[in-house]
Amino acid sequence: MRGLHHVEVWVADLHAATESWGWLLAALGFECAGEWPDGRTWDAGGAYVTLTTSPNLSASEHDRRRPGVNHLAFRGGSPEEVDAVMSAAGAQGWRPLYHDRYPHAGGPGHYAGWLENDTGFKVEIVAEPG
């Protein structure tokens, strides 16, 4: 079967990243599947997301506007479930992006919310169609 196997996100501060990402991933149905001194892994349906630090980081700050990955998009369930995540995100270190056009910033047929955490990582939470 084809599909995404995993995503590894390098972070400068694992503790801070675990707080914001851990909440978000749990809210989206991921379960913590492993942890070690320099990383954590959350799994959902066979695909997983890993946060890790590395002595090989070339900078201490993330910039999603540089070449590379701009954001990760997650399936968020129903529109009501996406709304619930978006409503709770602010208390967990995530701020809304494009909120003036929420939930259709991606177009009239696309129900989604965008969030950015304190270190500049951007995610999109997409509702299932129908």
What does the pLDDT profile of the chain (130 residues) look like in tens digits?
Answer: 577 899 999 999 999 999 999 999 999 999 999 999 999 999 998 899 999 999 998 988 889 888 888 999 999 999 999 999 999 999 999 999 999 999 999 999 999 999 999 999 999 999 998 7
CA distance 90 to 3: 31
CA distance 12 to 58: 10
**pTM of the model as a whole:** 0.92
CA distance 47 to 64: 22
Which CATH number is 6-54+70-127 given? 3.10.180.10
* Strand pairing category for 94-97 and 112-117: antiparallel
Q: What are phi and psi of 82, to 5 degrees?
A: -65, -45
Per residue, the 3-state secondary structure of 88-104, as one string, reads HHHHHCEEEECHHHCCC
